[in-house]
């Protein structure tokens, strides 16, 4: 299987969780996050790390967050990017501003670009 085929096979990773740190691994990208409430300048934000378990450096990692109420209805959404590349076997940080505190969140890696295969 080629690197591109492997990347395409695990394109989407979704995590649904209450407003706490959550881990889940589906494929080689894993998202770990928590919600932070501040006074200024961004009142509420979701921040965390994307972990890359593959031998390939990835870039332009795009995240989508769906904010849900207690009945699991979507009440808001947000989009964000991981800062920089996610090295093979490494991590990268992200912060996504949110509109309001929700009961749960769906966090999904919706796209990324493979950059290069790296030595272990």
Mean pLDDT confidence for 89-115:
93
Digit-coded pLDDT (tens) for 1-27: 444 433 433 333 334 444 445 545 456
Domains of the chain, start order? 25-61+72-105 (2.60.40)
Residue 34: is its pLDDT beyond 70?
yes
* CA–CA separation, 118 and 18 (whole Å): 35
Residues 6 or more apart whose CB falls under 8 angstroms from that of 57 comprise 85, 86, 87, 88, 114, 115, 116, 117, 118
pLDDT in tens, 49-86: 999 999 999 999 999 999 999 999 999 999 999 999 99
């Amino acid at each position: 299987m080629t690197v591109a085929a492997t990347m395409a096979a695990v394109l989407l990773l979704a995590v649904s969780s209450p407003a706490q740190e959550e881990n889940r691994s589906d494929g080689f990208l894993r998202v770990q996050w928590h919600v932070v409430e501040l006074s200024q300048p961004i009142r509420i934000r979701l921040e965390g790390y994307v972990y890359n378990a593959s031998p390939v450096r990835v870039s332009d990692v795009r995240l989508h967050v769906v904010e849900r109420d207690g009945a699991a209805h979507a009440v808001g959404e947000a989009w964000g990017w991981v800062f920089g590349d996610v090295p093979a076997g490494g991590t990268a940080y992200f912060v996504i501003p949110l509109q309001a505190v929700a009961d749960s969140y769906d966090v999904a890696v919706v796209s990324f670009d493979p950059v290069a295969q790296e030595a272990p």
